[in-house]
A and B are shown apart, each in its own frame.
Chain A
């Protein structure tokens, strides 16, 4: 009797699709890879973003050109071309990271972004991924322009030495990824483009200046001044060749300048009321 009823219920009243929705949704949630590709697309699909990317690419080319005209022949080496491109690119990449976050708030596209992906932390992880990919691509672009400069230097004069270590590439990659993540972290925390850009540029400079001026801060600055701790990643000689102590200092400064604002910004963004 009981089984009969159940059977009849099953055939006559199939469960409405809505009941099945949460578990067996035919349309699963977007993967992080998909979200990261979308964020990469957002980096390039507006004029501001497009020209920022072009500028980042051009900066290396300009540095290489300047060195070709001004530096003595022996200094026109791949290692120098590559290393000297890193600092100006490293100023632009935090801005790219900031804009990737703050433009969503200033243009209010978060309304769409968070409507389609209500798990906001996944959007932020995708932005971190996209920023890191952009940073690595900038390193590849610098490598290409440095290589081009080396070829030209070899043809035109006595320069054109190719000698370099893999650590230079690793150092540059770490340096630029840290820069982008710093921008994203400041963007998430401050959620305002001008504020985030100004503070991300000014705070480290202020800190460096204070560290240089005040004797008692010098010890702390060695651990907290990203200008000092990241220098070994990109500056000759032997860029990227860090010893254990240098890695430790880099790690501490990155934790303070990137990780702390990132976590605070993540919490703020996830909790924030969007309107």
Chain B
């Protein structure tokens, strides 16, 4: 379990993280979403004791991370796959951690196997690894101590589609066996497929959080017609608010039944009509964070 309460981090006059609170329960995958520079990594570093918070507390398994006697056996961390010594082999990287936390060499092989790094890859130096391989090595390192909690910062970066699919399965399985997972991403789609809960952060503040279903509910309907103008007219006549349009489709703040009825009343032929789901969440994500990310880019 991870518990974050009112975490705040200021650097001089800049507030990187502002009063962030959330909880990650055992058996769930929590997606930590936000654009780059929103404060995801800073929050995660504060959870793990790398960055002292200006205010607030964070606990993992009910204690301050730094007070865990052997944190490698409780919490698996992957904060930056690039933070590996390029001169060490993959196996050596894991062996050092294994010695430190007191797990057997056999466990090193198991973890390498689990993340799909074969014997040849394990013998190569990390310098020769692709980003995807480094992510796999980082994940193997996180899993090494057979932890109950996984904290992963942008773990899908550099993974190919097959790798992303594989990682989703691994994280789902980890959570289903009672583990707690917190993973961050700036890509909604990546997190949506695996997360049970979402915490959306923008400009250092939590802008939305809840179960994925909660956040998806009331997202409206996505509708597409051969003649978009006619459709818009039909919706306007029915008094249904159109929230936005993307690639010819319209996002309507109404349930699909009402939208279908409006289209039928005006005799507009539809190509597609469905609950908005991800499109809605994407909209939430964009509107909640767009301003902040623009500000971030300008600063």
- Of B51, B87, B145, which is within 8 A of A46 by CB? B87
Beta-carbon contact of B92 and A45 below 8 Å: yes
Nearest-Cβ distance from residue A261 to partner chain B, whole angstroms? 24
For B51, give the chain A residue with the smallest CB separation: A273
B210 at the A interface (CB under 8 A): no
Q: What count of chain B residues pass the 8 Å CB interface test?
A: 41
For A47, give the chain B residue with the smallest CB separation: B87
- Of A45, A48, A109, which is within 8 A of B84 by CB? A109
B283 at the A interface (CB under 8 A): no
A116-B100 CB under 8 A given contacts A46-B85, A46-B87, A111-B80: yes
A1 at the B interface (CB under 8 A): no
User: Which B residues from 46 to 104 make CB contacts under 8 A with A?
Assistant: 48-52, 61-63, 65-74, 77, 79-80, 82-88, 92, 95-97, 99-102
User: Which A residues from 160 to 204 make CB contacts under 8 A with B?
Assistant: none
A19 at the B interface (CB under 8 A): yes
For B70, give the chain A residue with the smallest CB separation: A27
- Of B62, B66, B67, B87, which is within 8 A of A18 by CB? B62
Question: What residues on A are CB-neighbors of B198 within 8 Å?
Answer: none
- Of B92, B100, B141, which is within 8 A of A30 by CB? B100
Beta-carbon contact of A27 and B69 below 8 Å: yes
Nearest 7 A/B pairs, CB to CB: A46-B87, A108-B83, A29-B69, A27-B73, A118-B66, A111-B83, A27-B70
Nearest-Cβ distance from residue A101 to partner chain B, whole angstroms? 14
User: Once the chains are docked, how many angstroms separate the CA of A22 from the CA of B88?
Assistant: 33
Beta-carbon contact of B101 and A30 below 8 Å: yes
B1 at the A interface (CB under 8 A): yes
For A103, give the chain B residue with the smallest CB separation: B85
Nearest-Cβ distance from residue A179 to partner chain B, whole angstroms? 24
| Cross-chain pairs A/B with CB under 8 angstroms, 11 sampled | A18-B61, A19-B62, A25-B69, A27-B102, A28-B69, A30-B101, A38-B100, A41-B96, A108-B83, A116-B97, A118-B66
User: Which A residues from 88 to 138 make CB contacts under 8 A with B?
Assistant: 103, 107-109, 111-119
A268 at the B interface (CB under 8 A): no
For B98, give the chain A residue with the smallest CB separation: A38
B45 at the A interface (CB under 8 A): yes
Question: What residues on A are CB-neighbors of B84 within 8 Å?
Answer: 107, 109, 112
Question: What residues on A are CB-neighbors of B63 within 8 Å?
Answer: 21-22
Nearest-Cβ distance from residue A266 to partner chain B, whole angstroms? 17
Question: What residues on A are CB-neighbors of B51 within 8 Å?
Answer: 273-275
Nearest-Cβ distance from residue A107 to partner chain B, whole angstroms? 5
Proximity bits, A19-37, B CB within 8 Å = 1, else 0: 1011001011110001101
For A26, give the chain B residue with the smallest CB separation: B73
Question: What residues on A are CB-neighbors of B41 within 8 Å?
Answer: 275
Given contacts A18-B1, A118-B65, 12 further A-B contacts (CB under 8 A): A27-B70, A27-B74, A37-B99, A41-B95, A107-B84, A107-B87, A111-B83, A115-B77, A117-B100, A118-B68, A273-B45, A274-B51
Nearest-Cβ distance from residue A193 to partner chain B, whole angstroms? 13
Question: What residues on A are CB-neighbors of B101 within 8 Å?
Answer: 27, 30, 116
User: Once the chains are docked, how many angstroms separate the CA of A41 from the CA of B49?
Assistant: 26
Beta-carbon contact of A115 and B87 below 8 Å: no
A42 at the B interface (CB under 8 A): yes
Question: What residues on A are CB-neighbors of B71 within 8 Å?
Answer: 115-116, 118
Proximity bits, B199-222, A CB within 8 Å = 1, else 0: 000000000000000000000000
Proximity bits, A257-275, B CB within 8 Å = 1, else 0: 0000000000000000111
Question: What residues on A are CB-neighbors of B70 within 8 Å?
Answer: 25, 27-30, 116
Question: What residues on B are CB-neighbors of A107 within 8 Å?
Answer: 83-87
Beta-carbon contact of B72 and A115 below 8 Å: yes
Nearest-Cβ distance from residue B100 to partner chain A, whole angstroms? 5
- Of B52, B69, B72, B99, which is within 8 A of A22 by CB? B69
User: Once the chains are docked, how many angstroms separate the CA of A41 from the CA of B97?
Assistant: 11
Nearest-Cβ distance from residue A48 to partner chain B, whole angstroms? 6
Beta-carbon contact of B72 and A116 below 8 Å: yes
Beta-carbon contact of B49 and A118 below 8 Å: yes
User: Once the chains are docked, how many angstroms separate the CA of A119 from the CA of B69?
Assistant: 9
Nearest-Cβ distance from residue A177 to partner chain B, whole angstroms? 24
- Of B50, B67, B69, B99, which is within 8 A of A273 by CB? B50
Beta-carbon contact of A21 and B83 below 8 Å: no
Beta-carbon contact of B83 and A112 below 8 Å: yes
User: Once the chains are docked, how many angstroms separate the CA of A27 from the CA of B69?
Assistant: 7
For B84, give the chain A residue with the smallest CB separation: A109
Question: What residues on B are CB-neighbors of A114 within 8 Å?
Answer: 49-50
Nearest-Cβ distance from residue A103 to partner chain B, whole angstroms? 7
